Amino acid sequence: MCELLGMSANVPTDICFSFSGLIQRGGKTGPHRDGWGIVFYEGKGFRTFKDPNPSCDSKIAQLVQSYPIKSCAVVSHIRQANRGEVSLENTHPFTREIWGRYWTYAHNGQLTGYEKLNTGHFKPVGETDSEKAFCWLLSEIEQHYPEKPEDMSEVFAFIAKRCDKLRELGVFNMLFSDGDYVMTYCTNNLHWITRRAPFGKASLIDDDMTVDFQQETTPNDVVTVIATQPLTNNENWHKMSEGEYCVFHLGEVYATNQDEFQQETVS
């Protein structure tokens, strides 16, 4: 399996604190030794850092940790390989273009019977179930919406319906972003938290690190962090339900089906 980390914010924000917690799980406090990757959007462009080596001792992960890249939309992943060997082409996140925008995706879980998915002209490069599912989603989106629609909430509802299909094939927890929106889809393991004023302190579960967000933010900042498992032990995280999706835009919930589910928080 794997772990996911995402962020949506209304001002360019660095993710160093959360990323420091996540990468400990890549071989130190967790078994996800088979590569890691992170995508930071800046406008319509993006930067990707990836490594098939464990994040806990990756020199490139150290750079990302120590060099604060600020972004309004981030997607990250650490991998414990099941389908597909440990290699750069099998390392998440994956990024492809539709409608003149780069879409980035990362998956936690495992699928069976995915080989038959028709991915159209989006051909997988690696061998993972995850990339195959990504290519299928893009192909479905592009067939259904040859042009980008005005109403993006309709698109995300469509994507969630397609994710329901993937959930029939196994465990499918997902992050999906075009740099404006960050979408989450849950089968069994996905949590999020929105931080806003009044900001407090937070302590990482996986590393001896505490941050006082009051010192790091302005009163108007809104920052949502999404993770497979909560990263801090003194905050309340929303636990997502099976089949629930949530789309964040500038840190706020933009579209969701969460009314259909009983809401739980965990700390």
Point out which residues bind a copy of itself (CB under 8 A). Answer: 42-52, 59-60, 63, 67, 87-91, 96-102, 121-126, 142
How many other β-carbons are positioned within 10 Å of the β-carbon of residue 198?
A: 7
Q: Which is nearer to a copy of itself, 41 or 156 (CB)?
A: 41
CB of 264 to a copy of itself, least distance (A): 38
Q: Given the complex with a copy of itself, which of 19 and 192 has the nearer CB atom?
A: 19
Distance of alpha carbon 121 from alpha carbon 139, whole angstroms: 7
| 56 catalytic per annotation | no
Least spacing, CB of residue 257 vs a copy of itself, in Å: 29
Taking the least distance from each CB to a copy of itself, the nearer of 44 and 144 is 44
d(CA 74, CA 184): 12
Q: DSSP label at 90?
A: G
- Interior angle at CA 181, CA 214 and CA 61, nearest 5: 65
- Taking the complex as a whole, how short is the minimal distance between the CB of residue 16 and a copy of itself, in angstroms? 14
Q: How far apart are CA 222 and CA 118, in angstroms?
A: 39
Pairwise CA distance, residues 12 & 46, whole Å: 13
Q: How many CB atoms lie within 10 A of CB 51?
A: 19
Q: Which is nearer to a copy of itself, 44 or 161 (CB)?
A: 44
Shortest Å, Cβ 138 to a copy of itself: 11
CA distance 36 to 236: 26
Instruction: Tell me which residues are annotated as active site.
Output: 2
